[in-house]
Amino acid sequence: MKTLSPASLRLDSIDIFRALTMLLMIFVNDFWTLTGVPEWMEHSKGPDDAMGLSDVVFPVFLFIVGLSIPFAIANRKAKGDSNRTILFHIGERTFALLLMGIFIVNYENIVSSGMWVNKYVWEILMVVAFFLIWNVYPNDPGKKTLYTGLKILGYLLLVGLAAIYKGGDAANPSWMGTHWYGILGLIGWAYLICALIYFLAGDRLAWNVAGWLFLVFFNLADFAGALSFLDPIKDYVWIVGSGAMPAFAMAGVVASVIYRLYSKRNGITTTYLLILVILGVVCLAYGFGTRPFWGISKIRATPAWIGLCSGIAFIVFAILFWMVDLKKVKNWANVIRPAGTATLTCYLVPYIWYALLTLIHFSLPEFLRTGTIGLIKSFGFAVLVIMATGLLNRIGIRLKI
């Protein structure tokens, strides 16, 4: 039996899991610069019954978001935060994720010309605004006014960018819209739903499992046509991804709640790892079992996609927990650690990099962007982004919401 100290601690395996996932996310997000990427690594098209590596990364990240929720809320309670303060923090984080997500997804729909500034300058200023608003500033009372001013400047910059924004096509431009909320926005909605479920349920396992199953079966019911009577309100009030996105995060919440219960009562034994593996196998069985009906598709957020990706996440977390927290084999992850502790910073760095390269008309030779060599280039780029994130952290630039 292995006993870990308080159930509210921060597990190294979660940080490393997050770092590995962010490494993969930056890696696959760079595929747009390549040609000759193997089909099994790319995003599958909406109508296809298929799932590539790129289709697994985002749901696994949502699972990790869920893993962190019980620890984050428990730690706030341990610090003496009231329920009202915790709810305010949940709302604050959700707002930040939605705001960033909406701006990023609108950048993706921006006109190529016709604005007051170049679209890539707009992109850089957008990320600069994010850094001004959500940077972790030093706790220096003498500079509090300065730091508050920088945050206000960031918001004013976003207002200005929104004012000059033009989307769609130059002949018939449109203003900003929510669209599909972007990756960060989807994370925000999933976080809000799961954080509220855990806030109400606490460490009561049955309640958390019930919340998870509700989301899974809500998605299943939607695909089965059982929720067609709700079609009139679907465009106005709905669970994001028909329950898929929060279902991934809620699976992570359940994994953490089980850990917290075991660490309080019996210490961590191989039984906990076995539970994670069993949950993973059950999810995989659900995924393969529902595949014949609607196929596997990230774009359509099918039940099979939920099951398969949740199963993968449970099993990978079990392996990392055993290796990192129980066996203490973790130094191998030091080079990517900034991606696990400053994840938002790491995610945003490439937006500035791509924009700068486009503005100066720089492009690597084609042979460095093709096939296996191109994949090595993209993986190296992901590692460099993480190293740059670590450097930014050391000079006092790190985002936190």
> Residues 242-281: pLDDT tens digits?
999 999 999 999 999 999 998 877 666 788 999 999 999 9
Please indicate, yes or no, if residue 303 is contained in any of the structural domains: yes
Residue 1 belongs to some domain of the structure: no
Report yes or no on 69 lying in a domain: yes
The amino acid at residue 209 is V
Residue 165 belongs to a domain = no
165 bridge partner residues? none
Distance CA 30, CA 24 (A): 10
List the domain range (segments joined by +) for residue 271.
Answer: 12-109+179-394
- Cross-strand pairs, 35: 370
In a domain? residue 325: yes
- Cα 41-17-215 angle, rounded to 5 deg: 80
Angle between helices 54-78 and 83-107 (to 10 degrees): 150
CA distances from residue 282 to 235, 246, 306, 308, 312 in whole angstroms, order as listed: 32, 18, 12, 9, 11
Query: Which stretches of the chain drop beneath a pLDDT of 70?
Result: 1-9, 266-268
Indicate the number of domains in the chain. Answer: 1
Instruction: Report the Cα–Cα distance between both ends of the chain, in Å, rounded.
Output: 36
pLDDT digits 0-9 by tens, 31-54: 999 999 999 999 999 899 999 999
The residue ranges of DSSP E strands in 22-74, in sequence order, are none
Supply angle C-alpha 224, 227, 230, rounded to 5: 155
> What CA–CA distances, in Å, run from 140 to 136, 148, 262, 400?
12, 12, 40, 17
Q: Is residue 240 a part of any domain in this protein?
A: yes
Its pTM stands at: 0.95
In whole angstroms, what is the distance from residue 248 CA to residue 229 CA? 25
User: Does some domain include residue 131?
Assistant: no
Asked, for residue 382, whether it belongs to a domain, the answer is: yes
